[in-house]
Amino acid sequence: MLEIAPSILSADFAYLGDAIHAVEPETSWIHVDVMDGHFVPNLTIGAPVVASLRRHTKSILDCHLMITDPWDYLPDFAKAGADSVSFHFEVGRTAELIQMAHDLGMKAGMAVNPDAEFEHYSQYIPHLDLLLIMSVFPGFPGQAFIPEVLKPLRRARELIDSSGAQTILEIDGGISTETIGSARRAGAELFVAGSAVFGKPDPAQAIIDLKETAVLAGREGD
């Protein structure tokens, strides 16, 4: 698998439907950043916006919940039409959240911050549909890629492959044509990109460029 998940956090919020339609020819994933102003120092959108997007797209709505109490909101996101939800390992109750997401019919994802210790969360990886490794500290778009996350990314790839798990390895933060190659070689397969897509004059072409760079990097790593 190699896919780009454009983050609508970097799109024009007045024209989200148009932004999604502009990238749909090149991807089937849309990344939705949900921030509560508590877990991260920023406030964005919630389940009502996801419900509105759902009415206008059949793409996979990949919701990243940067919130302190995701267990209170998973039913709302399921009802809104979210396909996957990634809650943060740092908020706790991980096993409960995985089961809750599955019971609600969504893919269960777990996000980990750049400073998370791999040994502290690795036990959950085989039970996840997605593992989202943050390559920036969450909260704001446009941050620089933190290269130190390549080590846990490689370890996660090795664990997924050796265990036979079907977990999708996702990375988010500072992804561009300059950084996607190293992330691909480390084992990532789903790449969240915000300004590298919606900050370009032609978002669809930006996705093509990102994919081509990742494919080339994968060949070099073989």
Q: Beta-strand (E) ranges in 95-218? A: 107-112, 130-134, 168-172, 190-193
Q: Which residue's structure tokens are 């081509």?
A: 212
- DSSP assignments along 93-118, one per residue: -HHHHHHHHHHTT-EEEEEE-TT--H
What is d(CA 213, CA 92) in angstroms, rounded to the nearest whole number?
36
What is d(CA 5, CA 72) in angstroms, rounded to the nearest whole number?
26
123 vs 65, 72, 112, 183, CA distance in Å? 21, 24, 13, 22
Active site residue 172: yes
Q: Beta-strand (E) ranges in 17-144? A: 29-35, 60-66, 84-88, 107-112, 130-134
Active site residue 62: no
Catalytic residue among 33, 62, 129, 209: 33
What is d(CA 147, CA 194) in angstroms, rounded to the nearest whole number?
18
Catalytic residue among 83, 129, 172, 209: 172
Q: Beta-strand (E) ranges in the chain? A: 3-6, 29-35, 60-66, 84-88, 107-112, 130-134, 168-172, 190-193
Which residues are the active-site residues? Answer: 33, 172
